[in-house]
Structure 1
Amino acid sequence: MNIAVLSGKGGTGKTTVSTNLSLALNANYVDCDVEEPNGFLFLKPNIDNVYEVEEEYPVINKEKCVGCGMCVKVCNFNALAKVKDDILVFDKLCHSCGACQYVCKFGAIEYKKRVIGRIESGSAFGINIKQGILNKGEPMAVPVIKKMLSSINRNELNVIDCPPGTSCNVVNSLKYSDFAVLVTEPSNFGLHDLKLAIELVKMFNIPFGVVINKDNGEENIIKKYCINNNIRILGTIPFNKKTAELYSKGEILYFDRDHKNIFDELVNNIREVLPWS
């Protein structure tokens, strides 16, 4: 089973919930925020395996190319351009769909591979940990996310730390998910982006619940919205000095007695919503 942890925007505490939830569940942790993975900063695993993620891109054989431009016309991603009689390739825009090679009647296009990122895996505190890292300057994170998620075992319990927002990166993370934990904060911006995240998980028909970070224990707009829309609040993380100090030091909240109770209760509430053996 895969439990996705996501938020409509960055900075809500998504990684804090993901890492501590993994420990509370004794589940594998998978960091899909490949543009800025932070889970390893808290879990500090011993990395025992690193492998590169490659993506294919077209290469033009100038001896065979007649400059007809059919490959340019068929490319929906503007990865090819015709300049006079030459075909230019913008490899970072290529989605490796193969359409250009298919329409070329002269066999002038072949595909080669280039490295766009890497996947690191290891272990800490008795759980398996994995993160993807997109190389600097690369515009597309989806291939790294797909490569990483295709390698996990869905018969095991996995917590997927999704990218922030509701972009295609998040969409591709949710495709592998069975349950979603939506992390938000009690602010107008938090509510706005929570609504976007809720719309997204509903599109995939994924059961979900909400965790409110920076909660002061009083009524707020998030609680009112969830109550009015019959949305389950799975738990809250307090807005206090102790939580902030532990977080700022990069310490695991779950190892603190008070916070351990918070995440154990979160696990129990998830079990109530989505039982598993």
Structure 2
Amino acid sequence: MIVAVASGKGGTGKTTVAVNLALARKGEVAFLDCDVEEPNAYLLLQPEITASEPVSLPVPVFAADRCNRCGRCVELCAYNALALVRKELMVFEGLCHGCGGCVHFCPTGALQERRREIGVIERGRAGKVAFAHGKLRPGEALAPPIIKALRRDTAAGTVTVIDCPPGTSCPVVQAVRGVDYCLVVTEPTPFGQHDLEAVTRMLEVLDVPCGVIINRADLGDDAIESFCRDRGIPVLGKIPFDRAIARSFAAGTPFIRAMPAWKQTFARWWGEIEGAVARARNRGA
């Protein structure tokens, strides 16, 4: 079972919920921090990193003596990573998505491929948690290839928690696609509701069942609950704006360790998630 934890914006408490959810699970659990532009779950889990693997993309290399300047490669590139300027081909590696189309369709073999490193995946353990996170190199723009490589760490039969990037853009879609359930963390503010609407629309398109956790629930009104009720989205629970929770986070301690009573709450949320996953699988059978 793979459970993603997402949010429409940064700062809602997504990583806090994801980490505590993983720690509340009985037995072994895998944790993937797919927020590769700024991974920070390691600050709470404090894993011992034991392995590192570079992630690279194939990018085209231009051989001018073989090129007939037909422009076929430029026409094919959907991301404008190639440009023919004064009969010279320019390659913008930062825009290249590594699809290989230009190399495949070049009629003269003027384009070959080389590997360009864009980031790294680090793996380790934090007690019962098998941990992995991705790190996008500074200055790089393409997070999805690292997330795709990180998702390969999902083993059959293993309970996996994915800490997604914030928002609803391509990296989030890559992190969420194909999961069994998505737990959406939001907050009771107009911004929180706006971004929750965007996330739930995305999950509907991806056909991923979801539920909502309202963080800092005692600060706002009941607009989030009304929205979820109108759309049939279950609210699994609420987390109050609690100084003790904030203090434990500032100390780098998951709050179920500082306040063990929360383990029962997260265990109940796990039960609701498992029930929703079972119902979704029965409908698809």
Which TM class, normalised by the smaller chain length? over 0.9
Distance in 2 between residues matched to 1:218 and 1:269, nearest whole Å:
25
Q: Choose from 252, 260, 263 the match for 2:263.
A: 260
Q: Choose from 47, 50, 53 the match for 1:48.
A: 50
Distance in 1 between residues matched to 2:117 and 2:219, nearest whole Å:
48
C-alpha contact 1:237 1:262 (8 A) present in aligned 2: no
C-alpha contact 2:178 2:208 (8 A) present in aligned 1: no
The residue aligned with 1:7 is 7
Q: Which amino acid aligns with 1:273?
A: A
The residue aligned with 1:163 is 165
TM-score, structure 2 normalization: 0.92
Distance in 2 between residues matched to 1:94 and 1:39, nearest whole Å:
29
Instruction: Write the mapping of 1:1-277 to structure 2, written as runs, cut at 5 A.
Output: 1-26=1-26, 27-216=29-218, 220-255=222-257, 256-275=259-278
- Cα deviation, residue 60, structure 1: 0.5
Distance in 1 between residues matched to 2:81 and 2:221, nearest whole Å:
51
Distance in 1 between residues matched to 2:270 and 2:219, nearest whole Å:
20
- Cα deviation, residue 230, structure 1: 2.3
- Cα deviation, residue 175, structure 1: 1.5
Number of residues of Structure 1 aligned to a counterpart in Structure 2? 276
Cα gap change, 1:229 to 1:105, in 2 (>3 Å): closer
Moved more, 243-252 or 108-117: 243-252
Moved more, 211-220 or 89-98: 211-220
Distance in 1 between residues matched to 2:252 and 2:114, nearest whole Å:
41
- Please report the RMSD computed on the Cα atoms of aligned residues, expressed in angstroms: 1.6
Q: Which amino acid aligns with 2:234?
A: R
User: 1:41-78 CA distances to partner (integer Å, 9 max, x unpaired)?
Assistant: 10000001100001000001122123232211221111
Distance in 2 between residues matched to 1:218 and 1:132, nearest whole Å:
34
- Cα deviation, residue 97, structure 1: 1.6
Percent identity (aligned): 40
SS of equivalent residue, structure 2 residue 261: helix
SS of equivalent residue, structure 2 residue 57: strand
TM-score, structure 1 normalization: 0.95
C-alpha contact 2:58 2:100 (8 A) present in aligned 1: no
C-alpha contact 2:188 2:221 (8 A) present in aligned 1: no
User: 1:68-95 CA distances to partner (integer Å, 9 max, x unpaired)?
Assistant: 3221122111111112121111111111
Q: Which amino acid aligns with 1:25?
A: R
SS of equivalent residue, structure 1 residue 63: helix
Moved more, 216-225 or 83-92: 216-225
SS of equivalent residue, structure 2 residue 51: strand
Q: Which amino acid aligns with 2:263?
A: K
Q: Which amino acid aligns with 1:39?
A: A
Q: Please, which runs of 5 or more residues in structure 1 have no aligned partner?
A: none
Distance in 1 between residues matched to 2:50 and 2:185, nearest whole Å:
31
- Cα deviation, residue 275, structure 1: 4.1
Moved more, 35-44 or 149-158: 149-158
User: 1:104-162 CA distances to partner (integer Å, 9 max, x unpaired)?
Assistant: 21111100001100000111121101101100111110100001102321321100111
User: 1:198-257 CA distances to partner (integer Å, 9 max, x unpaired)?
Assistant: 111111211111011111298621122222332211111111211111112111112122
Distance in 2 between residues matched to 1:125 and 1:208, nearest whole Å:
28
Distance in 2 between residues matched to 1:222 and 1:100, nearest whole Å:
47
Distance in 2 between residues matched to 1:221 and 1:146, nearest whole Å:
35
Distance in 1 between residues matched to 2:60 and 2:81, nearest whole Å:
9
C-alpha contact 1:4 1:181 (8 A) present in aligned 2: yes
